[in-house]
Structure 1
Amino acid sequence: MKRVFVGPLLHLVYRPWVRGAQHVPAEGAAILASNHLAVIDSFFLPLVLDRELVFIGKQEYFTGRGVKGRMTAGFMRGVGTIPVDRGGGKASEAALNTGLRRLREGDLFGIYPEGTRSPDGRLYRGKTGVARLALESGAPVIPVAMVGTEIAQPLGRKIPKVMRIGVVIGEPLDFSRYRGMENDRFILRSVTDEIMYAIMSLSGQEYVDVYAATQKARIATGHPTVTGDAQDRLPAAPGGRPAPEVQVPVPPEEGSARQ
């Protein structure tokens, strides 16, 4: 359904461009770890690949009532989203097991290490589930930067603005040296920070060393967000490294969609 109906329409309207598509293997398992700026990230990343890629999505996307609810559920299924109940203590385990099943079958699996959408376009601290997934499956991690989706679909907007959407794909990261160490929390944090640093290097985003969910909670309760002096005291990049000297990627010249 995705390729026959949804894909051509999105291609025609939004003219997505991709850079680094050659880094995705033609076959075999791989984890695509992306920044997360908007709901439509899960539509456009699979769209620019030659292989099927699935993400997990909130169960609520598939259980809505009425015409709107059925349309949302149908669209999510059409773009390959797998419903997972993210409520309760077993939510992370359910997501991990879903990913492991896909990877053990030699497929691609997409994940957002931040755990939720960025509330302000900055890159937030990664959760270690992506590291566990990499170490338990043995699959390489391919960092990805979505470009422009937060402008096309800011928080609260249902229908994305018509504009070019970009996807930048980095070189695969191999963590086989840590195999069997998936229960070591220091290793998991180190691997996660390495992945987030690679995403930051592709996206050119400013980094905030707190979880996106924590930042959203601060905003919702009216507490100050991490800015100014508080931000200056936090690491400039994942793992306490200096921030890479990169810029936000720009679209290729008109008429080109893939580089």
Structure 2
Amino acid sequence: MIYGFMKATIGTTLRVVFRPEAEGLEYVPSEGPAILASNHLSFSDSFFLPVLIDRPVTFIAKQEYFTGTGVKGRLTAAFFKGVGQLPVDRSGGRAAAEAAVRSGIRVLERGGLFGIYPEGTRSPDGRLYRGKPGGLARIALATGAPVLPVAMIDTEKIQPPGKVVPRLMRPRVRIGKPMDFSRYLGMEQDRFILRAVTDEVMYEIMKLSGQEYVDKYAAAAKAEAAEKESDSSSPS
């Protein structure tokens, strides 16, 4: 009921104002479990992808999104709660990561759609970064659910990091054919298999998005950029 209300209000508003385009919606199953593995360019990705899909999509979202203040913060919290997103404390390290994996498995075991950003964080510069194998691949191999690669396009131009008021642009979403990894079912503890599965999915996302691929984790790239900025601002 809450999901339907949020879809009819905020979802309809997003569709009317931004007119997002979607390709490949026919690949999203009408019932049963599936994983939507997407690139991550903007905060708004978590809004545009769910509103374009008829079924609820459960994402793991930063806990801060549920406790925001001000108009934007309250609207974000209301939307995320209304469409069933799950909060996770990213400062919790390995324990938080394990909790996220268990949450994803539970969603799929109930026959739901689970959304995940394999890069682990937003791209700092619009390029596609290396996927983390500890989430996507483990969940896929533990459940046997098909993985749908997803490309968000131009969302970083609509709402760049730090920008409160979004630009009125038309985002695009491309969804690829389901990827079947059931041949590796139960092998979620094999790190080589996890790496291979993750890289295969990232390759499909790269083809869909047209992004330049960087064989480095996005979090590491952000840390390096922050360190360079700190060094350049320090008095010599």
Shift of 1:44: 0.5
The verdict on how the C-alpha distance between 1:139 and 1:155 changes in structure 2, with shifts beyond 3 A counting, is: same
1:38-117 equivalent positions in 2, closer than 5 A:
38-65=42-69, 68-89=72-93, 90-117=95-122
The verdict on how the C-alpha distance between 1:33 and 1:210 changes in structure 2, with shifts beyond 3 A counting, is: same
Shift of 1:198: 0.6
SS of the counterpart of 2:149? strand
1:183 counterpart residue number: 189
Question: 1:30-73: per-residue Cα shift (whole Å, max 9, x none)?
Answer: 00000000011011111111111121111111123455543332
1:157 counterpart residue number: 163
Which consecutive segments of 4 or more residues in structure 1 shift more than 6 A? Answer: none
Query: For the Cα contact (< 8 Å) 2:137–2:198, is it kept in 1?
Result: yes
Q: Could you tell me how far apart the structure 2 residues matched to 1:66 and 1:158 are?
A: 11
Identity of aligned residues (%): 63
Compute the RMSD of aligned alpha carbons: 1.5
Query: For the Cα contact (< 8 Å) 1:6–1:79, is it kept in 2?
Result: no
Match of 2:141 among 130, 135, 144: 135
Match of 1:5 among 5, 9, 12: 9
Higher helix share: 2
> 5+ residue gaps in structure 2?
230-236
TM-score normalised over the length of structure 1: 0.83
Q: Could you tell me how far apart the structure 1 residues matched to 2:144 and 2:178 are?
A: 12
1:23 counterpart residue number: 27
Shift of 1:183: 0.4
Match of 2:198 among 192, 196, 200: 192
Match of 2:131 among 116, 126, 137: 126
SS of the counterpart of 1:201? helix
Counterpart AA for 1:186: F
> 5+ residue gaps in structure 1?
224-259
May I ask how many residue pairs the two structures share in their alignment?
224
Q: Could you tell me how far apart the structure 2 residues matched to 1:20 and 1:72 are?
A: 27
Counterpart AA for 2:75: M
